[in-house]
Amino acid sequence: MSRITKKGNEVDPRRWSRQVVDGPKQTPSRAMLRAVGFKDADFSKPQVGIASTWANLTPCNMHINELAQEAEAGANAAGGKGVLFNTITVSDGISMGSPGMRYSLVSREVIADSIETVVGAEGFDGLVAIGGCDKNMPGCAMAIARLDRPAVFVYGGTIRPGAQRRDIVSVFEAVGGHAAGKVSDAQLLEVERTSIPGPGSCGGMYTANTMASAMEALGLSLPDSSAQEAVGDIKRLDSRRAGAAVVNLLKLGITPRTILTRKAFENAIAVTIAVGGSTNAVLHLLAIARAAKVKLSLDDFTRIGRRVPVLADLRPSGRYSMSELIEIGGIQPLMRRLLDKGLLHGDCMTVTGRTIGENLTAVGDYPAGQDIVRPFADPIKKDSHLVVLYGNVAPEGAVAKITGKEGLSFSGKARVYDGEERATAAILAGKVKAGDVVVIRYEGPRGGPGMREMLSPTGAIVGRGLGDKVALITDGRFSGGSHGFVVGHISPEAAVGGPLGLLRTGDRITIDAARRRIEADLTAAELRQRRKTWRAPKPYATSGVLAKYARVVSSASAGAVTD
């Protein structure tokens, strides 16, 4: 168990800030801090950094500065000294389908590095990190794990549904429908204008809401933080309570690695499966575990997935939005059900200073008659929808999202495309037919670089009416909004000589979720022969952050980390 260094028999809540502001030697530090608002009394208080991912470039984060101010006020009221600072965010929804999407996963590392840098440099004793989009959320958690100083993560909250229950995935699928002649120009414009009504993260169980749920299951967020709308008093109160909670953690001496145990990650995996969450959770939980020095592998998802069912009927493959889940009680009753079935470790510590089991003691069940969360006797799928596959296409593993609606196996001839743009253009042009296995390669962590999400091609496939007739495999990854028979994270990736780079159009590919296999109908001898003529593609970038990332990033099977 990780605890703050004690002073005598007392926990020292100012372990780090003392080094910055105490004594005559640090007079210059105090002088600088007075200019930004410190008073005499503040120098004897524990300092709580408030990491805000506010930016006016995406709905997910446009409101977070207000939440950060609430967290600061909560820390101050509890006897700490809150200090606001910012880090970056980028928008997957805006950059999706463009070269800019290469920066998305890269931003996770930049965010983690930047938060660690500020907290380490300024000597903050504790941290509140507030995130509201796919990569800044795990980036915050990675920094929290690395720093191991008392910390709480606050989810910025989900967006409210647009007109006719639309969301961002409605827009991507309308593009495919437009290409197929099913959606008129006027209808496409109407979808564009009405799908995103204001602040908050994308409204289904896509990556943001998945990671928020996983963070709460990890114990890094206060109860209910994952299941709140972005706009309203409830989320502001959650942020204020988080500031106070960090001060309490400082007094108790509870640091993140006390919380981020192997059992906690097993809880997070179980909740991710039960809610039908995004494949990105696999990548991010592996990365957070590495930062917390916890051993976690792809095979842990398989092991846990054999006994945890999919219970929540949530988008993209289901019917309901996160806001509708919130109306019936959110994530807490689901966690209580899992705990009662022995599928959660109730003894895991959380940021409340109490265990998961203690937090859930007073939580009741969902209201009678609701059909958003199924009973164990009637699950959407009796085991995990996150299926880890191996085979001659993916010797180090791949991750499929199989809800059961797509069937459990698919076999077809490959249509091979080097890069997302070529694949999307072919799909929109009608060149991809029923029975095809679309292969998109050179989109991995190193080859992309940045492991772009394939929402544009999967949205185009669904929009053209091929969602149950075509499979798509890639060394890139998928948005939480993608659905259909899709396999990503194929490792080793094509750019480093993985078998995906050896495939040719016309090769027969078989995906068998029941056997957990992904195979090309090619002999080992044929693959060896093809390897002799394979040449690595030229790198997309030779300088700057993308080139730096490509040089150091790990395989997707290890979380695509740079640390």
Active site residue ranges: 479
DSSP SS3 for 519: strand
Distance separating alpha carbons of residues 374 and 436, to the nearest angstrom: 33
Q: What is the DSSP letter of 175?
A: H
Residue carrying structure tokens 């749920």: 213
Distance separating alpha carbons of residues 120 and 270, to the nearest angstrom: 33
Write the CA distances from 475 to 265, 533, 548, integer angstroms: 25, 21, 20
Q: What are the structure tokens assigned to 292, written together? A: 């917390």
Distance separating alpha carbons of residues 258 and 538, to the nearest angstrom: 45
Q: Are 150 and 249 in contact (CB under 8 A)?
A: yes
Query: What are the phi and psi torsion angles at 41 (to 5°)?
Result: -65, -25
176, with CB counted inside 10 A (0-12, 13-18, 19+), is: buried
Residue carrying structure tokens 């750019």: 495
Q: Are 357 and 250 in contact (CB under 8 A)?
A: no
Pairing of strands 126-131, 47-52: parallel
- Which residues, listed in sequence order, are joined to residue 399 by a DSSP beta bridge? 388, 488
- Which residues, listed in sequence order, are joined to residue 349 by a DSSP beta bridge? 355
Q: Are 194 and 162 in contact (CB under 8 A)?
A: yes
Q: What are the structure tokens assigned to 48, written together? A: 């709580």
Q: How many CB atoms lie within 10 A of CB 123?
A: 19
User: How many residues are recorded in the chain?
Assistant: 563
